[in-house]
């Protein structure tokens, strides 16, 4: 089970008790905490620092991450010089963010992901990321 992909109805993140591996549901605190850690790892990798606020919710095969990011001085400088370029950079970074986050969730938590949707509002620094888990083929 550990190496199998996890779909919307199954579990991920494992704890050990002796020789037994017990799966934790995705909405378990430890699973949500791990997802938040992975999200912040990507943030630190791309921007050099993590989020100032991060909340993870799981419901019916949908993982939602609400995050408030720090404002980058480089981003603020670029906004003052060339707003269109800054918006393009924000868009491209969001695409990279989704790809890297998806890789981490799939590789480290064995999630079977159908799609990741992310919206980022530069003026307020809020980002909402929705991870849609794939359903079982016969479900």
Q: Which domain holds residue 60?
A: 12-133
Q: Of 121, 122, 131, 127, which is closest to residue 66 (Cα–Cα)? A: 127
Q: Is 94 domain-assigned? A: yes
Q: Is 3 domain-assigned? A: no
Number of domains in the chain: 1
Task: Work out the pLDDT band at 9, boundaries 50, 70, 90.
Answer: very low
Q: Is 33 domain-assigned? A: yes
Whether 41 contacts 100, CB under 8 Å: no
pLDDT at 81: 83
- What mean pLDDT is predicted for residues 69-93? 82
Q: Is 38 domain-assigned? A: yes
Length of the chain: 139
CATH number at residue 102: 3.30.980
- What mean pLDDT is predicted for residues 50-65? 94
- What mean pLDDT is predicted for residues 36-53? 93
pLDDT of 3 higher than 80: no
Whether 77 contacts 86, CB under 8 Å: no
Q: Is 76 domain-assigned? A: yes
pLDDT of 82 higher than 60: yes
Q: Is 138 domain-assigned? A: no
pLDDT of 18 higher than 60: no
């Amino acid at each position: 089970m550990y190496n199998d992909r996890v779909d919307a109805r199954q579990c991920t993140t494992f704890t050990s008790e002796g020789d037994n591996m017990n799966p934790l549901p995705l909405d378990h605190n430890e699973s949500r905490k791990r997802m938040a850690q992975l999200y912040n790892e990507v943030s630190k990798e791309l921007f050099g620092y993590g989020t100032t606020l991060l909340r993870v919710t799981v419901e019916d095969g949908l993982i939602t991450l609400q995050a408030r990011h720090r404002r980058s001085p480089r981003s603020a400088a670029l906004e003052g010089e060339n707003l269109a370029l800054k918006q393009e950079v924000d868009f491209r970074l969001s695409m990279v963010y989704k790809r890297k986050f998806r890789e981490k969730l799939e590789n480290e938590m064995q999630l079977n992901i159908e799609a990741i949707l992310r919206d980022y509002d530069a003026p307020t620094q809020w980002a909402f990321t929705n991870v849609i888990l794939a359903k079982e083929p016969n479900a």
